[in-house]
Amino acid sequence: MLSVVNVSRQKDYKVLVKFNDGKSGVIDFKEILEHDHRNIIRELLNLNMFKTVKIQYDTLTWDNGVDFAPEYLYEVMR
């Protein structure tokens, strides 16, 4: 089962994510957030809210309740 084991916020909307299989990479959330029209997702365009990113339940979560599946994060990782 894929899970996030480490997250480090980088500049702006970028985070460095490490997975339990040893792979890691940077995810730039700017475009992801801008193209999603759900209000709860767009709240993360506020950098103060975006900065609340943390690992919970084996994936990335934010204080407003947003989370993304680890499999999705793995796919969009660069």
Domains of the chain are 4-76 (3.30.2020.10)
Residue 14 in contact with residue 27, Cβ under 8 Å?
yes
pTM of the model: 0.93
Indicate the pLDDT class of residue 2, thresholds 50, 70 and 90: very high
pLDDT tens sequence across 20-63: 999 999 999 999 999 999 999 999 999 999 999 999 999 999 99
Indicate the burial class of 29 (C-beta count within 10 angstroms; 0-12, 13-18, 19 or more): buried
